[in-house]
A and B are shown apart, each in its own frame.
Chain A
């Protein structure tokens, strides 16, 4: 491959061309769609976390005003099942997952019956007429209780709540030594709890299914139209070629829309039953209780080291909450972190174990970073603990263990080959931007004076694996699909360009970034490029958008497709200029005759000639359209250093982030404005885990934080300005040098914030505060242990 990035557009801070329609809402959000004859669906959901349905009768609902049909789970006999694409071990327990419960419910919010009516209000009203009785069953919510002998079972048929046990050991893999034999002058063991989070995308999930004419079109606010089409065919028996899935403009996902949902499958089945288009749009309350959640795991981490700070071994034991069912990649999500606990460090021994556990809660699955934020949190927290144990500066402990820039490429103890990186450069830039030394002095002064407002500095030197993923690797990990991406570039007769993207954006800015790249590749104006996506009839092939993959994989496919266009066009241009193709060079956006630059043909000039096809060279087809599908050979490894200075009011427990510096190395940058937006949003989402968000169940399994009044999302008013900067170490595994930035901020920021707060209170004997660091928890930590150290 010769693909490269060059030209006037790449690197420009272009405002996003899609924002006018997205921000004003004047666009094709799924809930904006109204089809002729469309009906509206409402869903009755279980109020019990675990119960038998002893009686259900929807006949009264059928008689309610404007109601067209109503179904219980048993009556919706064409509902299919929901599939898990990632059974991580041979014996992973995959319980039958029905979109609508038939005889037993296993979490609050599980669908039990539906009503379809001519208007949404009537459908919701008629839910009250459904006659349903439950016999409550014992509930299990706690991970360790669920594994204890005699625990109530979420799935009786499984005979256990243990879903799987997955192990990576560097001694077995031949990538390192055994942790059991690691030299241990110092041992630091910690338990961290990743609280349950809810991906709070701005646009609630919405689906419209049109079954007209024996073909099905599903419009859905999803991240994964292509995967949805495949699985809909595979699990309902509907022929794939008769299914079209459209993700119109989608308002955020964060992994929360990387899912095939009960609501999609139910709407599909109901529309088939009634033979009319049916729409379902969730309320925010339904979204919080029914959309999948994220994180929710216990991390038992043991780090061994020498007295000089050199780490000798890392042992990670995870207990991961699956929830009640397996979503599309529920079991695999924690394993996306398995290769990242060793992070940027040269550890000689590593063992990772993960036990997946069923509970009577909403299922968990991918949430921005998926496994990698958890890994980064644990390692970056415990590196601070090691530093404290040894009385070293936490930056110094990192320096003593990280891969030096001259050591790349480097095979890690987890078996990944990091192609590139420069941790020294990113860290130096970050400490300079923060004013690290000055803040350390201020910290010392505040400690000495007993200031009620203490200062802490938090460090997070992260890396991540993104550009998911090499298909061969996914296969080795037992994931059910590949990780390639597809792009088609079409040149219209007037010289305008259509880029058909297999990866489907839900807010990332593909329209703009792709236009910038293709504009350079084909020498056309930015505004002459349109990016088409999200419709399986238009973008026929694709693997969709997650895992910071669009640019790192789709971007390469796009450049390859554009190169193919140029190759085809070159022959025609040579013919039109009456020279040999060898006499032409591509320069400044046109084919130019070597030695006579003014003799030139642009892509637009070639396009109209190809359209007319009156005078093409022998054997050249009248089309410039080209497709490329790219499967990466490896992951890409963005990295960076994030630093947080936090003030802690010890009298109230209030944490105020005073300054936050994010220096990221994501390789080559297409549009700095989009990158900074991704970093800002990502950092804020990570801060939210550190300080605000927490999905809490009561002892009966009710989601206490079932609205945004209780599930706290921070806003701009709660957060500091984020100082964003970059170092640029291009990826070496492909010619574009790009790495991916969609999740970096979220992965990096949570430990930076928590490390800062713990650092502020460390003289009081504080070495951990459970997330989220609520003011009360911080106050308790600050006061209970005051003077203890």
Chain B
């Protein structure tokens, strides 16, 4: 199908992108990898007056280290994140999650910043950002500001971004030596997660010293499973992990739709949390 006509802008600097968005007003849309925006345009579910393409801004690309942080540019693709040796070492959970997004084509087009800004409850990367206490750095007319991931996602398809702000980069605390697993439960290989559990653990002397767990599609925004994390501290065996996983439904308000009822999703949250943590911890 053919989208409604729109103005197309392809700036080369963040400042120009922000200024283009500002002048577009409420009807402006940001194009990064286009994996969510283009289908919406083609189905005429959205008809923006202006589309601001971030693809020409080299400053938004790349993956680097900055002190205690792994910094991923907003327009780094999922494929780049998934295959980056730096990400594999410094944030194994981020790498594991990025590997599961969509299909190969989607991963080569879709971007980390785009995925976070789109804030699809069934999107995979928001859970990774929330689990890992990432910081989303956004750029707007008055410069940059940093938003903790937990505050960035405010509702279904809704973030703390102002209309004239874009995601510039995402900063993940470095977690070398941690082990991770993303349990993504989906109906077909290319389908969205019915439910997903992102888990990373740091082991010390045979027990779980620290754990980070967050759930995909268990509510309008990613759910940080703090109750599970607390119950995992010091765990050494599968029984403890399973007992801890029972807390996975805390704070969840999962949707009911054709892919699964809320009850089923709550059940999956517990089962998949147990499996994700067990796999991450090598139990």
Chain B residues with Cβ below 8 Å from A694 are 258
Chain B residues with Cβ below 8 Å from A775 are 185, 187, 194, 260, 264
Tally the A-B contacts, defined by beta carbons under 8 Å. 52
Q: Contact at B189–A776, with CB atoms within 8 Å?
A: no
B22 touches A (CB below 8 Å): no
Q: Contact at B43–A285, with CB atoms within 8 Å?
A: yes
A157 touches B (CB below 8 Å): no
Instruction: Select A705's contact among B191, B258, B267, beta carbons within 8 Å.
Output: B258
Interface string of A276-302 (1 = CB under 8 A from B): 000000010100000000000000000
Q: Contact at B2–A715, with CB atoms within 8 Å?
A: no
B243 to chain A, nearest CB (A): 16
A-side interface residues toward B, CB under 8 Å?
A: 120-121, 124-125, 283, 285, 651-652, 654, 692, 694, 696, 704-705, 707, 709-710, 712-715, 717-718, 774-776, 779-780
> In the bound complex, what is the Cα–Cα distance between A704 and B268 (angstroms)?
24
Chain B residues with Cβ below 8 Å from A125 are 4-5
B188 touches A (CB below 8 Å): yes
* B163-210 with Cβ < 8 A to chain A: 185, 187-192, 194
Interface string of B259-273 (1 = CB under 8 A from A): 011001001100110
Q: Contact at B189–A717, with CB atoms within 8 Å?
A: yes
Chain A residues with Cβ below 8 Å from B43 are 285, 707
Of all A-B residue pairs in the complex, the 10 with the closest CB atoms, nearest first, are A717-B189, A121-B2, A776-B264, A283-B1, A651-B271, A776-B260, A718-B188, A712-B188, A718-B189, A712-B187
Instruction: Select A715's contact among B185, B188, B258, B264, beta carbons within 8 Å.
Output: B188
Chain A residues with Cβ below 8 Å from B267 are 779
Which residue, of B2, B192, B261, B271, has the highest number of chain A Cβ atoms within 10 A?
A: B2
Chain A residues with Cβ below 8 Å from B260 are 774-776
5 contacts between A and B (CB under 8 A): A652-B272, A707-B43, A709-B191, A712-B187, A713-B188
Having A709-B192, A779-B267, one finds 12 other A-B pairs with CB under 8 Å, namely A120-B2, A651-B271, A652-B268, A652-B271, A652-B272, A694-B258, A713-B188, A714-B188, A717-B188, A718-B188, A775-B194, A776-B260
> In the bound complex, what is the Cα–Cα distance between A283 and B42 (angstroms)?
10
A129 to chain B, nearest CB (A): 13
Closest partner residue, chain B, to A652 (CB atom): B271
> In the bound complex, what is the Cα–Cα distance between A713 and B187 (angstroms)?
10
Chain A residues with Cβ below 8 Å from B272 are 652
> In the bound complex, what is the Cα–Cα distance between A710 and B188 (angstroms)?
11
B7 to chain A, nearest CB (A): 15
B270 to chain A, nearest CB (A): 9
Report how many residues on chain B are interfacial, defined by Cβ distance under 8 Å. 21
Q: Contact at A692–B188, with CB atoms within 8 Å?
A: yes
B261 to chain A, nearest CB (A): 7
Closest partner residue, chain A, to B185 (CB atom): A652
> In the bound complex, what is the Cα–Cα distance between A652 and B183 (angstroms)?
12
Closest partner residue, chain A, to B191 (CB atom): A712
* B216-254 with Cβ < 8 A to chain A: none
* B1-41 with Cβ < 8 A to chain A: 1-2, 4-5
Instruction: Select B258's contact among A121, A651, A710, beta carbons within 8 Å.
Output: A710
Chain A residues with Cβ below 8 Å from B189 are 715, 717-718
Chain A residues with Cβ below 8 Å from B185 are 652, 654, 775
B55 to chain A, nearest CB (A): 23
- A774 and B268 in contact (CB under 8 A), knowing A121-B2, A696-B258? no
Chain B residues with Cβ below 8 Å from A774 are 187, 260
Chain A residues with Cβ below 8 Å from B192 are 709
> In the bound complex, what is the Cα–Cα distance between A717 and B190 (angstroms)?
9
> In the bound complex, what is the Cα–Cα distance between A704 and B1 (angstroms)?
19
Chain B residues with Cβ below 8 Å from A704 are 258
B84 to chain A, nearest CB (A): 23
> In the bound complex, what is the Cα–Cα distance between A709 and B258 (angstroms)?
11
Chain B residues with Cβ below 8 Å from A713 are 188
B123 to chain A, nearest CB (A): 13
B8 to chain A, nearest CB (A): 15
Chain A residues with Cβ below 8 Å from B187 are 692, 712, 774-775
> In the bound complex, what is the Cα–Cα distance between A283 and B260 (angstroms)?
28
> In the bound complex, what is the Cα–Cα distance between A643 and B272 (angstroms)?
31
Chain A residues with Cβ below 8 Å from B2 are 120-121, 124
Q: Contact at A124–B258, with CB atoms within 8 Å?
A: no
Instruction: Select B261's contact among A651, A654, A718, A776, beta carbons within 8 Å.
Output: A776
Chain B residues with Cβ below 8 Å from A780 are 264
B187 to chain A, nearest CB (A): 5
Closest partner residue, chain A, to B195 (CB atom): A652
Chain A residues with Cβ below 8 Å from B258 are 694, 696, 704-705, 710
> In the bound complex, what is the Cα–Cα distance between A125 and B47 (angstroms)?
12
Chain B residues with Cβ below 8 Å from A779 are 264, 267
Chain A residues with Cβ below 8 Å from B194 are 775
> In the bound complex, what is the Cα–Cα distance between A41 and B272 (angstroms)?
49
Closest partner residue, chain A, to B190 (CB atom): A715
A313 to chain B, nearest CB (A): 39
Closest partner residue, chain B, to A716 (CB atom): B189
Which residue, of A651, A652, A780, has the highest number of chain B Cβ atoms within 10 A?
A: A652
B34 to chain A, nearest CB (A): 16
Closest partner residue, chain B, to A707 (CB atom): B43
Chain A residues with Cβ below 8 Å from B271 are 651-652
Chain B residues with Cβ below 8 Å from A776 are 260-261, 264
A312 to chain B, nearest CB (A): 41
Closest partner residue, chain A, to B270 (CB atom): A651
B5 to chain A, nearest CB (A): 8
> In the bound complex, what is the Cα–Cα distance between A779 and B2 (angstroms)?
41
A646 to chain B, nearest CB (A): 16
Chain B residues with Cβ below 8 Å from A709 are 191-192
Closest partner residue, chain B, to A283 (CB atom): B1
Closest partner residue, chain A, to B265 (CB atom): A776
